[in-house]
A and B are shown apart, each in its own frame.
Chain A
Amino acid sequence: MLAELGISSVEELFQDIPRKALVRKIGLAKPLGEEEVVGRIDGLLDRNKPLGEFDSFLGGGYRSLYQPAVVDGLLQRSEFYTAYTPYQAEASQGTLQAIFEFQSLWAEMTGMEVANASLYDGATAIAEAMLMARRLHPGRRFVVPKSLFWERRSVLENYARGTGAEMAEVPWDPATGELDVDTLKRECANDCFGLLVEYPNSFGVLEESLPTLKSLIGDVPLVVAADPLSLLLLEPPGSLGADIVVGEGQGLGSSPSYGGPLLGLMATRKAHVRQMPGRLVGATRDRAGRRAYTLTLQTREQHIRRSRATSNVCTNNALVALSFLLFASSRGPRRMRELIESLAERTHHLADALSHVEGMTAPRFRGPFLTDFVVGLDGVDPSRFLEAMAERKILAGTSLADPRPGAAPLGFSGLLTSVDGRVDNRAIDRYAKAAAEVLAELRRSP
């Protein structure tokens, strides 16, 4: 190859790099063989304690459910796994049809008319929905629940920064944990371009007012962030007046993997599709009249529209979307419904068991819930409680407080609690027993 190029050394191909910019040494170690790589990484992973070593009560939008073998088996088909964006439609019908099916699935789950090919994760999907709402409606303020998990709120604020948009908050009802509808109505009438409602909210609570909200806010776009599995039981947001429905899809088909990759879901009404961010697959015909699929409405996207695109997003999380589709296809609606019912039943059993523990209020809020609820821990530092429980091989919940120094306090001491797919009644009993012991200890030595 060097001879073909008429050069004697590959160095000559780098002579266009200025001398002052040359790197002599990167500072990496020597190469390792595959067996050594495996040994090195296993050595690191051995220092982790995965969920399987605990009774896990961590939720908050992530789920660790049993994955049917067929999901990963099909996912690992080379032709799905190592393809790229289906720019050449004729060579990519497999990926394109799978995305079309995925879009159809998310549209059916949400009761919406169209869905995109996915975004990075649930938090950025909410943020993209906010930017989309801003394109749909005038106004400067985006109305969000005060209960919104701080992390999602922070992502929203970062996505809003370049637009001049501001956040307006709707507090929660101290008894139910649900939105304060009077404030909501007032805020939405004040220079507002969109309203976000979580379904269920970051406290796990179902907003019972949701069916009435669209009539209260008029033509202000209603953005609903929904949990996909819960939608097997819940009235779809599309039937409740939602304009954009987003969600985090990791729980169906993927492992939590310490937080990534995840799956951002987004659906909307047909009338809004040209303001939607992200890839879209459409059905069309080939020259012989066969049904075929292709990326479409690309004039919304960055590679065509550049600075006037609906978003800068270039990738979709296609493989995670495929997992979501495979999981749903493998389980089918009936077994997915049984799964969420079973999780909800165990979660309610957990709440009941914890309600008898001295020092705990379970649930902290009276509003209806499915698979997550807040446990009140009055007078106890949640982080000390979590550490002590982890020593007893129980991951007792997720802290809801913003950990950044100087951040606004949450206003109550509590944890978000859920049930892992593996939690059974005995694990719930262990939680209640250990919690009683730990809280007693913490009271003795505060």
Chain B
Amino acid sequence: MTEGQAPATTESRPPDFHQARWNEALPWEIRPPVAPTPVTSPFVPPALQRKASLRWPELTELEMVRHYTRLSQMNFSIETSFYPLGSCTMKYNPRVGEVLARRPGCADMHPAQPDSTAQGSLELLYRLEEALGAITGLPNVSLQIGAGAHGEFVALLLTRAYFEDKGEERTEVLLPDTAHGTNPASAAMAGFTTREIPSKNGCVDVRALSEALGPKTAAFMLTNPNTAGLFEEDVLEIADRVHGAGGVLYYDGANLNAIMGKTSPGKMGFDVAHLNLHKTFGTPHGGGGPGAGALCAGSLLKDYLPVPRILKEGRRYRWSYDFPKSIGKVKSAYGNVALNLRAYAFILAHGEEGIRRVSERAVLNSNYLGKRLGAHLDRPFKTLVKHEFVLSGSRLKERGVRTLDLAKRLLEEGVHAPTVYFPALVEESLMIEPPETESRHELDNFYDAFVRALSDTPENLHAAPRNLAVDRVDEVLAAKEPKLVWRDL
């Protein structure tokens, strides 16, 4: 379909989709482990010798290949399905990253190698730091970050160190009621109390924030665009107010995909930002991780960043530990280098125009799909959104249906469900993020699937999903009688 034509009709045929349903046994059911025997080794003192050898099955290679291939077939993934999971930025992960990360120069490197033998990695990381500094406007970067939440925690450790240095006792972190759950959890881990600022029309209520700010305020944590997909238009005033109260303004980079080359955390007045390289810069999500993070700091907090940091001296690069105010280490070695390489490849491939176009397309996709779906479910806030938008499924309740049922019914269409029940300030919320790598064709297909799901009978919605590896899973039973390892079965 070309621009301007009538939208696809809802009469389009549902996909004849069925997920594999293997009822796959567990490895020890395929081949029972041999009976344990005592393990003796000349290198282990008798008191420490293993009395019973490891109980684990010895599968043949074919048994193993079949088992795990079958398991893989009972998974949705970006490479098989549209995956509009809000706040997760499920974009395509370019394959070239996989090829490069398997080069010996990336994979077969030990972190204790002398710097002289790792000049390529050091230069690559240095250049990635420069690029991320340019994108965020916060030029001092540490890549020693395991994932987004880890970045939040470390940023708050920097904040703590900064105020200790200044001799100020500031104990409270403020955050909007729309904040990701990791924000308050990270603040608590770093030893701060937290206080939620209520939202007004989905954005920070600046007056409520101003009233909460004070001599106890260490930081205000904000993501912009926020978790409702809305750009916080008062961000400059927020920055002034937070800085006026002597606090640190922290940027949660989970939603950076919406604004690259348009604005930046630095331009908006933030002092420090964490990035999720696995979201914005296309490193694979891997079934829930490993993530990859970066922490970008302006002048206020740069001295406190973790060591080591890379120094460039002429054409040589080296790790330096000589940063007396640094908080030290937050993770082994230098961060997730093999993922950082993929992120750098992503940035090289996109370049100046491409990175800007990532955000333009993500925002266009989101507004387009938001407009179309907004005809069917309530949109609680303003309709100009960034990379994601929120719908409320509260109207479904009239038919005895919940957002959860709609999500499960969507799975039957072979598309992943949106994020549901977050943000919590919207009743029965669905949070939808269609990243820039999705075409209009996919968006229209999703629209059709969504409308088919919405207009299905309550019985069918309650029964969903019926064509996946398993039917609706009993999560209550799982929590009531936890069975967490095979011996519990």
Contact = CB atoms under 8 A, between A and B. Distances in A.
A5 B367 contact: yes
A50 B109 contact: yes
A225 interface: no
B287 A405 contact: no
B32 interface: no
A139 to B, nearest CB: 17
A262 B341 CA distance: 15
A136 B262 CA distance: 48
A286 interface: yes
B44 A334 contact: no
A40 B27 contact: no
B85 interface: yes
A355 interface: no
Contacts, number: 650
Interface string A67-85: 0001011101111111111
Contact-residue bracket for chain A: 35 or more
Nearest to A389: B114
B417 A88 contact: yes
Interface stretch (B295-303, B390-398, B450-458, B466-474): B466-474
Contacts of B69: 74, 77
A345 B463 CA distance: 59
Given A86-B288, A287-B472, A41 B263 contact: no
Contacts of B280: none
B339 to A, nearest CB: 6
B483 A283 contact: yes
B336 interface: yes
A175 interface: no
B363 A13 contact: yes
Contacts of A13: 360, 363-364, 367, 384
Interface string A297-331: 11101111111110111111111101000101110
Given A26-B135, A47-B119, A312 B186 contact: yes
B7 interface: yes
Given A38-B96, A79-B80, A257-B109, A315 B289 contact: yes
Contacts of B465: 90-91
A44 B59 contact: no
A291 B134 CA distance: 50
B481 to A, nearest CB: 8
B103 A114 contact: no
B379 interface: no
Nearest to A123: B332
B368 A1 contact: yes
A239 B51 contact: yes
A64 interface: yes
Given A26-B355, A259-B332, A333-B53, A78 B288 contact: no
Interface in B354-386: 354-356, 360, 363-365, 367-368, 371-372, 384
B409 to A, nearest CB: 11
Given A52-B104, A151-B332, A307-B185, A233 B43 contact: yes
Interface residues of B, number: 195
Interface stretch (A183-191, A206-214, A216-224, A357-365): A206-214
A232 B51 CA distance: 11
Contact of A114 (B61, B365, B471, B484): B484
Contacts of A333: 33, 53-56, 58
B56 A60 contact: no
Contacts of B147: 120, 313-315
A54 B348 CA distance: 31
Contacts of B23: 290-291
Nearest to B360: A10
Given A13-B367, A103-B485, A161-B157, A50 B417 contact: no
Interface in A251-295: 255-262, 270, 273, 279-288, 290-294
B284 A306 contact: no
A218 B52 CA distance: 26
Given A103-B485, A261-B336, A312-B153, A233 B50 contact: yes
B349 interface: yes
A239 B102 CA distance: 39
Interface in A208-248: 208, 210-211, 231-236, 239, 248
A319 B473 contact: no
B178 to A, nearest CB: 12
18 contacts: A48-B105, A48-B119, A62-B112, A74-B65, A84-B85, A88-B76, A93-B470, A94-B469, A98-B68, A98-B71, A107-B485, A113-B485, A257-B338, A259-B332, A260-B334, A307-B193, A312-B150, A341-B43
Given A256-B108, A280-B482, A404-B321, 6 more contacts: A46-B120, A64-B108, A89-B475, A155-B328, A162-B188, A308-B188
Q: Which 8 A-B pairs have the closest CB atoms?
A: A259-B333, A162-B191, A45-B105, A319-B286, A259-B111, A31-B351, A120-B146, A315-B289
